[in-house]
Amino acid sequence: MSDKKLQIIPLGGLGEFGMNCMAIRYDDDIIVVDAGMMFPDAELLGVDIVTPDFTYLVENASKVRGLVLTHGHEDHIGGIPFLLSQLQIPVYGTAFTLALVERRLEEHRLVDATDLHPIKPGEKLTLGPFVIEFVHVTHSIVSCVALAITTPLGVIIHTGDFKVDPTPIDNVMFDLHTLAEYGKRGVLLLMSDSTNVDRAGYTESERAVAPRLEDLFVRSPRRLVISCFSSSIPRLQQILDLAHEHGRKVAFLGRSMNNTTEIAHDLGFLKIPNGILLRPQDIMQTAPSKLVAVVSGTQGEPMSALSRVAVDNHKSLSLETGDTVVLSSRMIPGNEKAIYRMINHVSKRGADVVYGSMNPPVHVSGHGSAEELRLVLNLVRPKYFLPVHGEYRQLARHAKLAQHLSHLGLEESFILESGETLMIDRQGARKGEKVTVGRACIDSGSLDEVVEDMVIRDRRHLSEDGFVLPIIAINKNTGKAEGLPEIVSRGFMSMEESSEVLQSARQVVMKTLEGSTAEERGDWGVMQEKIRADLKRYISKQTSRRPLILPVILEL
């Protein structure tokens, strides 16, 4: 055993937000913790979602014992269909998390080919040399767990996403006792959520939202339209309870909202008072003062329910003067423009909009602030510490937060980015060799869903400089051009600006044809390349722009 090594291999989620995926390897056995996705940056044109590149796992397929999930947020489960389409492995998680995964797998027709194994908090699971205990933690979604992974070299604690909520809506407390027990026995490595490390103090309890929501129920004279993340079951429970208390009917709008609430209700996580639900088609026939609509689409996604309501394009709900629209969520960085655009449209409908930070709050975070992160560090007292889930600045700050533990046995903190590895053996821990990681860009509308880098590069090229299409008719008998070439352009220059340039470009193409040998003119591939090169040189010199040039040769 002395020469066997433990490797921590982040495939995503370190040095970035989203795509959380961690491989843990001991000798010839690998387990995977989470397989998430992220939404694309603005430069990834036409891309719907981004997942980790799972090449490392595919190359080591025979060694992968299973996928273990911490909770059901998209940045932790969104990449699962794309992983399982390449690799058949069992999946373990709580019943609620697996129900959300199952919906994703149904969309990709992978349910029948996948083994889903529900595990309850407190239960243990053995996969090869790993014994994994599920430890209940509180977060903004129900049924979340941290993982206590016992390996031949020691215990690894992976917190998943968490905050230490002292008064959770479901009254199921964060299992700090179990973490403390592991801390007493000795923990080799702690991997802990870094999302809110730069917020001082403690994150407010989910119950802190209740006074503000109640105030809105009391003060809103007409329809109340509340938008929150569909996965925020505790928030939805508060809305249902308040609606029941104030005599309002509740209608859920949006596919994700309907799917998630149905799953949560079936599994007993969402308690719906009798007779309170209203069909979407009955919304406009219900007295406005007796209605609350709970709508998905907090981030201004173009086709989401709330975006369609905002532009008066939803079949079931039209906003009217005096209605109140509440965004009970945070603005995810990068989505601000879309959200403010949506708020502007809502305001044009004459509705009041409630959003942003206020006191009491209309939204609280699901991630622990600095003091909660310090509490977990103090309870676990690891030998080595690896901050996870965050950009580099947050990982570095979290590592700094752990410095005070040096007198309690912390030997070293490591800051890794995706692809960098941590290796632990009997001699200690150190950075190991890098593994190949990257991202897979998924375009749901394309035949082959994974978009190549070259395609994205071409899309960016087209978006910036447009394209130029030289069309040349060549007589197949003589090999000579039939008249001057035609040149079509789109997104290149305005008609007035480009007419002179394109007229001269026709002469450039003609010159290229005339300067080519009969043998060259007989090879379309050669001619297309020659025309492209000469035209590119000319247009770049005249305009300093580089449109995509696609020569078309017609044989007559």
Residues forming the active site = 193, 367
Residue pair 171/148 in contact by the 8 Å Cβ criterion: no
Token pair in block for residue 307: 């975006």
Number of helical H runs and strand E runs in the chain: 16, 27
Residue 236 φ/ψ, nearest 5 degrees: -65, -35
Can you tell me the distance from the alpha carbon of 502 to that of 485, in angstroms, rounded to the nearest whole number? 10
Residue pair 376/178 in contact by the 8 Å Cβ criterion: no
Cα separations in angstroms, 458 against 44, 52, 368, 448, 502: 11, 22, 41, 17, 22
Can you tell me the distance from the alpha carbon of 552 to that of 469, in angstroms, rounded to the nearest whole number? 7
Token pair in block for residue 257: 């909202």
Burial class (CB in 10 A: 0-12, 13-18, 19+), 438: middle
Q: For 475-527, where are the E strands, in sequence order?
A: 486-490
Identify whether 360 is preceded by a cis peptide bond (ω within 30 of 0). yes
Can you tell me the distance from the alpha carbon of 157 to that of 179, in angstroms, rounded to the nearest whole number? 8
Can you tell me the distance from the alpha carbon of 31 to that of 418, in angstroms, rounded to the nearest whole number? 17
Can you tell me the distance from the alpha carbon of 331 to that of 209, in angstroms, rounded to the nearest whole number? 17
Residue 295 φ/ψ, nearest 5 degrees: -120, 140
Token pair in block for residue 165: 């909520």
Residue pair 512/531 in contact by the 8 Å Cβ criterion: yes
Residue length, the chain?
Answer: 556
Residue pair 493/479 in contact by the 8 Å Cβ criterion: no
Longest dimension (CA), the chain: 89
Question: Could you give the count of Cα atoms lying within 13 Å of 318 in the half-sphere of its Cβ?
Answer: 6
Cα separations in angstroms, 190 against 111, 157, 187: 33, 5, 7
Token pair in block for residue 517: 């040998």
